[in-house]
């Protein structure tokens, strides 16, 4: 099931030399430094994502670049600055580009390059979901599936930095002890498999921490249903992905007797909603960069791949049980 979409996706991509666009008065010439391959990037290539560019298009929605030159009306960045895409669809899998000033966001150069390259999507998603849906306080708990994903790793670290406990659900796998050790090293309080969600042993976890008021769902299907059962009354489950490609099924009792709330989150839409208010986006980025400086937020497990080896990176990013994010070094 993984081979066909993998081969098809790779066959749709190719490396080409493109002519650099002229630098306009409000444009910025950027040398890309590093750009990750995210699931949304793959979905865009496959044509299954909610945001699709006009073809032919350059892949990649995230990454970090260095400013080489600016147009005469540009005021927000200067040559030498590091920048991130302010929105999705910019096309970051390239060595150089000319972008409009408004499509870029400055990031401090003291942030490690792999942190900067992976800062604009997964940590932002984690930050917003932990902030916007429930008023969590130190000592509260959150439960999440796909805890080994980029978002999951960011949730663990941001939650730990703010005193929030995490219950982290992963699929069973051959290297499970190694994965558990890594997530615990990031600050995970509990790491369990999806099978454990359905067992009475869950009661032991809630002897030491309160039941969660927030559940973060990136999987769907049974994983989401079982995770929902452990929510506090009037708790919230936020769905931001559907890795199982199965619908979220909710018992009627959860609505009637627990009054749970089901919400959705898409980082791209949040950024679009904030385009008139870049202060909110800048403030979030500053908060995340401060966590990086304090050593409380790091890049996810990464594999650095030269751009010319992009085919191998695409294939690796679509393999099951992948815990290392492929980063194109540009």
Residue 268: partners with Cβ closer than 8 Å, 6 or more residues away: 40, 50, 51, 87, 88
Q: Which of 49, 127, 240, 310 is catalytic?
A: 49
240 is catalytic: no
Helices and strands, number each (H, E), in the chain: 12, 13
Q: Which two tokens stand for residue 174?
A: 């051959």
Two structure tokens written together for 20: 């650099």
Torsion of CA 186, 191, 193, 199, to 10 degrees: -170
Distance (Å, whole) CA 116 – CA 270:
20
Task: List, in order, residues 6 or more apart from 172 with CB less than 8 Å away.
Answer: 193, 194, 195
Q: Say how many C-beta atoms besides its own lie within 10 A of residue 54's C-beta.
A: 6
How many CA within 13 A on the CB side of residue 145?
A: 28
Considering only CA atoms, which of 178, 177, 136, 181 is closest in space to residue 155?
136
Rounded Cα distance between 260 and 272, Å, is: 28
How many C-alpha atoms does 233 have within 13 Å on its Cβ side? 4
Please choose, from the candidates 82, 72, 76, the residue with its C-alpha nearest in 3D space to the C-alpha of residue 31: 82
| C-alpha span between 203 and 211 (Å, rounded) | 10
Q: CA-CA distance, 169 to 217, in Å (whole number)?
A: 10
Q: For residues 78 and 104, what is the distance between their CA atoms, to the nearest angstrom?
A: 12
Q: How far is CA 252 from the centre of its chain?
A: 31
Catalytic residue IDs: 49
């Amino acid at each position: 099931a993984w081979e066909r979409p993998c081969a098809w996706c790779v066959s749709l991509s190719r490396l080409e030399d493109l002519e650099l666009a002229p630098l306009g008065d409000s444009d910025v010439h950027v040398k890309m430094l590093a750009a990750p391959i995210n699931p949304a990037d793959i979905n865009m290539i496959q044509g299954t994502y909610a945001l699709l560019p006009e073809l032919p298009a350059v892949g990649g929605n995230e990454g970090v670049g260095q400013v080489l030159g600016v147009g005469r009306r540009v005021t927000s960045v200067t040559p030498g600055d590091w920048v991130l895409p302010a929105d999705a669809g910019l096309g970051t899998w390239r060595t150089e580009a000319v972008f409009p000033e408004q499509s870029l966001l400055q990031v401090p150069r003291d942030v490690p390059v792999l942190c900067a390259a992976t800062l604009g999507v997964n940590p932002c998603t984690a930050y917003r979901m932990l902030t916007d849906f429930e008023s969590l306080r130190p000592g509260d708990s959150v439960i999440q599936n796909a805890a080994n994903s980029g978002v999951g790793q960011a949730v663990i670290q941001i939650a730990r930095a703010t005193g929030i406990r995490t219950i982290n659900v992963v699929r069973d796998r051959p290297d499970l002890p190694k994965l558990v050790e890594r997530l615990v090293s990031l600050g995970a309080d509990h790491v369990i498999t999806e099978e454990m969600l359905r067992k009475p042993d869950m009661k032991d976890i809630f002897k030491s921490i309160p039941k969660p008021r927030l559940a973060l769902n990136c999987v769907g299907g049974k994983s989401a249903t079982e995770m929902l059962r452990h929510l506090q009354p009037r708790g919230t489950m936020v769905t931001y992905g559907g890795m199982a490609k199965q619908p979220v099924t909710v018992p009627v009792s959860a609505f009637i007797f627990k009054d749970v709330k089901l919400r959705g989150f898409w980082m791209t839409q949040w950024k679009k909603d904030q385009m008139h208010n870049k202060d909110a986006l800048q403030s979030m980025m500053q908060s995340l960069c401060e966590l990086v400086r304090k050593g409380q937020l790091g890049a996810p497990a990464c594999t650095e791949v030269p751009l010319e080896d992009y085919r191998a990176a695409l294939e690796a990013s679509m393999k099951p049980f992948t815990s290392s994010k492929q980063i194109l070094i540009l």
